[in-house]
Amino acid sequence: MHPSIESYLKSASITLFKILICCLFISQTSIIQGVLIYLLFDQTIHWYLEKYLNIIKVQEGEDNIFYRANLMTVYHVITKTKIKDLNSIKMQIIRNTQGIPEMRSKLVKVFNNFYYIKLSDEEFEQHLDRAISQIPEDFENEQALIDYIANHQIRDLPRESIQYRVMVKQDFNSNQSAVVFAFYHGLTDGVGFLNLLCALQDEFDSKNLPFVRQRSLNESIRRYITCIFGIFIYLKNQPQKYQDSQLCQIVMSNKPKITISKDMRVDQLKQNICRRFGCSINDLLTAASIIAMRDYCLANNITDHSLFQGMIAVNQRPSVLKKQDIRLYNNLCASQYKINFANLLSSKSMNLSFDQQFKEALSLVKDQFYALKTQDTGLSEIIALKIIAYFLPDIVIEKMIDQSLIPVRKAWSNLNGSPKPLIIGDAYSDKMMFSSYADLIDNMIFNSLSHNGYLRMSLGTQYSNLDSKSFMVCFDTIIDKLSSSN
């Protein structure tokens, strides 16, 4: 029998068994009571597994779907000084992950669900030894390291192992080391990983955690009330198909490519640009990217592209105050944005001063971010996805993966990382950046991350005719113009 057919039959039989159990409860009571009893029965089983057998069910929704889709995230850290002892990274992870079971577990799939099975201390150390390795290549600069990451993507981690890898280049240059963390997106999202880095510190500093939006009491109440209508909101906000253009052609021969921007000082951006134009860092990066996209189109004679569109990742995590509250999971929603910058291509706009052109771009951006902030439906959509995924059979969830990967094709993620350095092994971090990718999917992903006072942006492309290097030249030029026109 074909393996895929066998898998479907197995999945269908398990789903049928669950339905029969639920029907049994219903037959003895009523529909509502039967469903409630089944849910209580199911949750009790998983509580028992976690409490007494150290088997933790991977959450429905994003975690489960991201694992199925093989989405990967990679962070790299450039340290201030060289890491002297490679073993210091291993010992740091061992010391500081006792309360984070996802870091000390292998992943298995049983009865249509993924589970973390916590390893013994001895088993965990063995897994960690295999997970930490040294990078043999030499690099001229950070961009060369990023090129290496793009060309040597880890596309598939063994399921029955810890779901991350750590790669170290001790002699990145004469004074610094580089550390690369690669993990399944199903393990956690970007903010979750930044929380993890803070949890790995021997002295936990809650003030060094990544920025999380603080909501007023009224905003929080309204946010939870919308969860009542979560399924309706989730279905209503399903991402629409992207509008293709000359800039969005799939070229399977084009290998994955990630290009990073110049370093930007956060304090200088705020003082020299944000204060002058009355905008946030988010506004600045997006508006500058729109103008850079316009300039890229003009330079490459692309005439049918005037829609800056994609999905922006919006963090939904609450703030963390204690180290023991840090756990690894995904808690973000993807909100679609479409910004038509056709007016910026008009002769009237092109004849304006550069500051006026930037103000026009800002006016297009601010409405989008204001709508995201005021609607604030992310939590309701996450809960709705969990509910839908909980009741759907395994076969249907597999079919949902293509739809769930639409946001990955064109995505924007902006993270406010730790404002102060973090200890990695036996050295302090200097700079940090991240990227995400999915196997065999054409994509165009914008990422930005602030850390230790530096802000950088990157553009990652895969199977796309967009040249990320040329685009980033345009972006850097825009930032330089804005900084010098003060």
Tell me: the pLDDT tens digits for 169-208? Answer: 999 999 999 999 999 999 999 999 999 999 999 999 999 9
pLDDT in tens, 373-418: 788 888 999 998 898 888 877 777 777 777 777 767 888 899 999 9
Res. 464: pLDDT tops 50: yes
Report whether pLDDT(4) > 60. no
Question: pLDDT at position 3, please?
Answer: 46
Q: 415-446, pLDDT tens digit by residue?
A: 999 999 999 999 999 999 999 877 667 788 99
Among 74-83, 198-207, 368-377, whose mean pLDDT is lowest? 368-377
Q: How many CB atoms neighbour CB 214 within 10 A?
A: 9
Among the listed ranges 33-42, 139-148, 319-328, which one has the minimum average pLDDT value?
33-42
Say how many CA atoms lie within 13 Å of 470 toward its Cβ: 12
Among residues of the chain, what percentage have pLDDT more than 90? 51
pTM of the model: 0.91
pLDDT, residue 2, reads 44
Closest CA to 316 of 198, 230, 394: 230
- Could you give phi then psi for residue 307, rounded to 5 degrees? -120, 110
Q: Is 80 exceeded by the pLDDT of residue 52?
A: yes
Q: Which residue has the higher pLDDT, 45 or 432?
A: 432
Distances in Å between the Cα of 92 and the Cα atoms of 175, 316, 415, 433, 452 are 22, 28, 24, 21, 21
